[in-house]
Structure 1
Amino acid sequence: MKTIASTDHVLHFPKAELSGGELVRPYECPERWDYIVEALANSGFSAPQAPTPLDMATVEKVHGDDYLRFLAQAWSLWEAEGYQGEALPMAVPNRRMQQREPENINGKLGYFAGATETAITATTWQAVQSSAACAQTAARLLGTSETSAFALCRPPGHHAGFDLYGGYCFLNNAAIAAQQLRDAGASKVAILDVDFHHGNGTQDIFYERNDVLFVSLHGNPGHAFPYFLGYADETGKNEGEGYNINYPMLPGTRYSVWSDALTDALDRIDQYFPDALVVSLGVDTFERDPISFFKLTSDDFTRYGNAIGKRKHPTLFVMEGGYAVEEIGINTRNVLQGFLNA
């Protein structure tokens, strides 16, 4: 299994986020990438390969033009106002407010933000493009010579919707990978999101499409971020009706319950007969993750990697969350090793 990764990920590293009423060091930090690379190297995986430059034509099929223009210009507009800190949204459009993009950068940030913890820095856009390029390059591998690949993306992507960012995400790497596979000839692609947090952005992008099946196992949104999407009754719309499947689970969920949901999810994916499977791989389901409430152990990650591998789909793993930093490498390695050993 080849790994695609970019050292440009370090270009995105905000100084702080607001959590529990305090400014804290962001949970989504550069050393997450380092621990994964180290764990893979120690287990005999080949060294990561750099991605090819991002083809924006694919990105433009899953994100809106106005949104992409905002991401490219956000820092320069912020800087032009004379601000010294990192760009964070201060006001967001609520119920019965106008849903139109303001001229001022403060308004633009709120208009495109899906959450208020995610800062933009001077070099965020460069890091974001490199992260998406990793997913796109890995998808190209899967569409040619490889039956599996791993895109070590940072920043992550599954909270990024058609025209919104948040949850540490700006471009939806898994969606870009799925679109790349479709453009390369795959008639149907399935996305399996095993991150603790619901992939609201991925759901948003594909909710009215039937060529991409979205299946997500996650913390019940009544208790967990992103709170406002991810319920079981969200099943798709128009042509996408029946092609969106959510498995929300309660605090304290252990592997015995989680794995039952995974088995059902994999059965549904098999019944869809996809040409390729994209796995949004978040390992924040781990029992000691600081911002989640599932109770999976490190051995459980090996077990479910093996369960995915036994389904024998061409599979692309795209890195999402996981914030128990010292264990993120072990848990990511365990999933990939379990998959390869199936």
Structure 2
Amino acid sequence: MLRIRRVYDDTLPVNREIIRQVKEILRTRFPAAPREDIDQLGEKLRNPFKQRFRSVLFVAQTLKGRVQGFALLLHEPEIGFTFLDWIAMAGGKAGSGIGGALYDRVRQESLALAVKGLFFECLPDAPDRCPDTALLKENQDRLRFYEQYGARPIVDTAYESPVNAGDTCMPHLVYDGLEAQRPLRRSFARKVVRAVLERKYAALCPADYVERVVASFRDDPVALREYRYLKPEAARTRVDIRTMEQIPLIVNDRHDIHHVHDRGYVEAPVRVRSILAELEKSGRFTLIKPQAFPDKHILAVHDSDLFGYLRRACAEVPEGKSVYPYIFPIRNKARPPKEPSVLAGYYCIDTFTPVNRNAYPAARRGVDCVLTAVREILRGHRLAYALVRPPGHHAERQAFGGFCYFNNTAVAAQYLCAYGKVAILDIDYHHGNGQQDIFYQRNDVLTLSIHGHPSFAYPYFSGFAEEQGDGDGEGFNLNLPLPEAVDGPVYRRTLEKAVTRIRDFNPQFLVVALGLDTAKGDPTGTWSLRVKDFEENGRIIGAMGFPTVVIQEGGYRNRTLGRNAMGFFKGLIEAHHHWGRNRQEPRERLHGVGFREVIEPPDVERVRRLVDITGFFSAEEVAIAAELVQERLEKGPDSGYEFVMGDHYGRLAGYTCFGRIPGTTASFDLYWIAVHPEFQGRGLGRRLLQESERRIKAVGGARIYVDTSQRSQYAGTRAFYESCGYRLETVLADFYSPGDGKAIYCKVIG
């Protein structure tokens, strides 16, 4: 059995292994492919600026993780087209159906991206253009396959003309109009061809060749080859846009053993059934059986005394009975109380969380469910949901309470910490005191909680805004307490503040403690959120795009519980899918950036890495950028180089380098401006430029000059300067190479 899924990056070990297998297929099936293109596959997924396309990788793999085939799709959002760069099967498994499934998925993605056409290359299927008979048969099979979808080669152009004398078997450019099958307009086709030749084949196609090929597209609409292998009416152009990936749903299969019949105990099994009934109808989830995990994961966040007490005490309580804390002795580690009913108060923070025979096994199984959900994320899923009870976010390192025994959210975050930074977003009505207590002195886990103010809401003793972390964790705990009356718009404004802090932290993973007790009419809350509000909240969270584990916490109004849960996931899923298709769109203004002029020794390597990863500069230019920093360190102001460094929580996010032009009184050169790809489109470049201009003006500068290439891939750079008030002064024709001039801009600031 196969599944097709998208691989977004090479951050996770499982994705690195998948990409390794994809590279192996490429090397085996296409031995003539440039090695650099293969080696840089992971970077292309992370950094679209390397090739000026967004790369989308789909893999067909067995349930054991073996890659059987893949498709690499390039997306150009400004022109509005996709380009199928590679599609291949392991061992050349033609006729297996894998290629068809992958191409179907590529067409789904292209349609969802709202492009005007899907393009790809295919070697010729005519004997006079491909003398190799074995290869000719493969080419004919490929073009026959694509004709099924209405995709046919473009004809009557110079696209197939050789770049160098003697080149043979030049590929067709094939056009798939997708569901609309709209005619291919000349102006659009020319833009597509220029982008493909100048970006994908920049090292192979000289400028005059590109111009000749582009100019050869004269027909409007552009002509496509007549159907050669089947009748036109047989082509199936319709695209099924339904997603092929479902969200793993892990339900605590032992949650119902923990059923307390005591009056007023709202944490009942019907909660899970209410949610599950709505989710199952949606068809967006796939049930995954919980796996068993060792106790070490619980002991990583909870004191061993608490763990041992719960396991022992629950086993000793008679069947059908519950022990409630009612005496709370001051905790003396040397002399804990002996009486079981008193000992409960030694470990508990309230009077309504019972110790009974089934509390421990139900809570223990909940941990297994949560870790199974985490495992699904580490296997490459972007979303996973652990539908568990009892909940967990009130359980602290040394105490339980609030219906919570083990902190599921903290266990999940701790497990994920081995793979990168984690943010916990608690959106339960009550403060997530457990996560705060466990991670309060750590900076690798950002804890955030939106909740009712502790002046009126449980747990009453924590959740104040001034609790911001301690030691290394200072600034990594954010509490956003709200008043008793809160509606959807008020909540969303607060949620946006939390999201801004999460984006600044830029974690590898997000853990959401999902409380549905913020709903109108919930017996434990006072707020008035409705289904549409939960959907909007899910959309705001999903728009961040982080791999996300959702863990069920509170929510006790059973009449609306399922609809509210489904509303949240509807928004979360839709926003996550939108992020996946538009993940490099300009993001909101960046917060938490500090600027400095003083250069430090580590900046040499920081600048080298930053300039290299942008993908704009050659190896020689990268070395020069680092050398300028080194020269400033050695010579100080006498070097003639000044810097503005933009740091984001200790990380170099971007920088500028400038200096006075020798022989002038008030003119300065802007030598460098570079922004890390993760921070591009968020206003950082503009802020760096403004900081530089301010410093130049302060020392008497009046004019700033900057130059850049005239090549099409630098159009965005030129537009950026122009939008910042720089005006084109002159162009030095053919300065860099034939057809590539130097554009010199100037801004008057004094």
Distance 1:103 1:77 in 2: 14
The residue correspondences of 1:123-162 to structure 2 (distance < 5 A) are 123-162=358-397
User: Which residue of structure 2 lines up, in the alignment, with residue 91 of structure 1?
Assistant: 327
Residues 303 and 397 in structure 2, CA contact (< 8 A), matched pair in contact too: yes
User: Which residue of structure 2 lines up, in the alignment, with residue 19 of structure 1?
Assistant: none
Query: 2:493 is matched with which residue: 257, 260, 282?
Result: 260
User: Which residue of structure 2 lines up, in the alignment, with residue 67 of structure 1?
Assistant: 306
Query: 2:258 is matched with which residue: 6, 9, 12?
Result: 12
User: Which residue of structure 2 lines up, in the alignment, with residue 286 of structure 1?
Assistant: 519
- Cα RMSD, aligned residues only: 1.4
Which is strand-richer, 1 or 2? 2
User: Which residue of structure 2 lines up, in the alignment, with residue 102 of structure 1?
Assistant: 337
Residues 288 and 324 in structure 1, CA contact (< 8 A), matched pair in contact too: yes
Residues 347 and 398 in structure 2, CA contact (< 8 A), matched pair in contact too: yes
User: Which residue of structure 2 lines up, in the alignment, with residue 272 of structure 1?
Assistant: 505
Q: How far 1:77 sits from its partner (Å)?
A: 3.9
Residues 325 and 351 in structure 2, CA contact (< 8 A), matched pair in contact too: yes
User: Which residue of structure 1 lines up, in the alignment, with residue 443 of structure 2?
Assistant: 210
Residues 255 and 295 in structure 1, CA contact (< 8 A), matched pair in contact too: yes
Structure 2 letter corresponding to 1:130:
R
Deviations 1:208-265 (A, max 9, x none): 1111100000000001111010000000011111100000000111121111110010
Distance 2:423 2:477 in 1: 10
Structure 1 letter corresponding to 2:566:
R
Residues 115 and 167 in structure 1, CA contact (< 8 A), matched pair in contact too: yes
Structure 2 letter corresponding to 1:34:
R
Distance 1:10 1:302 in 2: 28
The residue correspondences of 1:73-84 to structure 2 (distance < 5 A) are 73-79=312-318
Residues 14 and 120 in structure 1, CA contact (< 8 A), matched pair in contact too: no
User: Which residue of structure 1 lines up, in the alignment, with residue 346 of structure 2?
Assistant: 111
Distance 1:306 1:116 in 2: 37
Q: Do structure 1's residue 52 and structure 2's residue 291 form an aligned pair?
A: yes
3-state DSSP class of the match of 2:272?
helix
The residue correspondences of 1:151-230 to structure 2 (distance < 5 A) are 151-183=386-418, 185-186=419-420, 188-230=421-463
User: Which residue of structure 2 lines up, in the alignment, with residue 20 of structure 1?
Assistant: none
TM-score by length of 2: 0.43
Deviations 1:99-139 (A, max 9, x none): 65222212220100011101122122111111111111101
Q: How far 1:37 sits from its partner (Å)?
A: 0.8
Q: Do structure 1's residue 41 and structure 2's residue 280 form an aligned pair?
A: yes
User: Which residue of structure 2 lines up, in the alignment, with residue 21 of structure 1?
Assistant: none
Distance 2:332 2:397 in 1: 19
Q: How far 1:98 sits from its partner (Å)?
A: 4.5
Distance 2:314 2:408 in 1: 21
Distance 1:76 1:303 in 2: 43
3-state DSSP class of the match of 2:447?
strand
Residues 140 and 180 in structure 1, CA contact (< 8 A), matched pair in contact too: no
Query: 1:248 is matched with which residue: 475, 481, 485?
Result: 481
Distance 2:284 2:365 in 1: 22
Residues 306 and 398 in structure 2, CA contact (< 8 A), matched pair in contact too: yes
The count of aligned residue pairs is: 328
Distance 2:285 2:488 in 1: 30
3-state DSSP class of the match of 2:322?
coil
Residues 2 and 150 in structure 1, CA contact (< 8 A), matched pair in contact too: yes
User: Which residue of structure 2 lines up, in the alignment, with residue 121 of structure 1?
Assistant: 356
Structure 2 letter corresponding to 1:89:
P
Deviations 1:49-85 (A, max 9, x none): 2210132111111000000000100134444xxx973
Q: Looking at both structures, which has the greater relative contact order when contacts are Cα pairs under 8 Å and sequence separation is at least 6?
A: 1
Distance 1:307 1:257 in 2: 14
Q: How far 1:48 sits from its partner (Å)?
A: 2.3
3-state DSSP class of the match of 2:254?
helix
Distance 1:6 1:77 in 2: 23
Distance 2:372 2:397 in 1: 21
Larger radius of gyration: 2
Distance 2:317 2:294 in 1: 26
Distance 2:258 2:321 in 1: 14
Residues 316 and 357 in structure 2, CA contact (< 8 A), matched pair in contact too: no
Structure 1 letter corresponding to 2:309:
F
* Unpaired stretches in structure 2, ≥5 consecutive residues: 1-246, 576-750
Provide the identity percentage.
37
Distance 1:61 1:101 in 2: 23
Distance 1:98 1:164 in 2: 14
Q: How far 1:6 sits from its partner (Å)?
A: 2.2
Deviations 1:172-222 (A, max 9, x none): 000001011113x22x10000000000111111111111110000000000
Query: 2:270 is matched with which residue: 31, 38, 57?
Result: 31
Structure 2 letter corresponding to 1:6:
N
3-state DSSP class of the match of 1:316?
strand
User: Which residue of structure 1 lines up, in the alignment, with residue 563 of structure 2?
Assistant: 330
User: Which residue of structure 1 lines up, in the alignment, with residue 672 of structure 2?
Assistant: none
Structure 2 letter corresponding to 1:57:
K
Distance 2:403 2:289 in 1: 22
Residues 219 and 248 in structure 1, CA contact (< 8 A), matched pair in contact too: yes
Deviations 1:305-328 (A, max 9, x none): 011111111111000000101211
Q: How far 1:47 sits from its partner (Å)?
A: 4.1
3-state DSSP class of the match of 1:7?
coil
3-state DSSP class of the match of 2:446?
strand
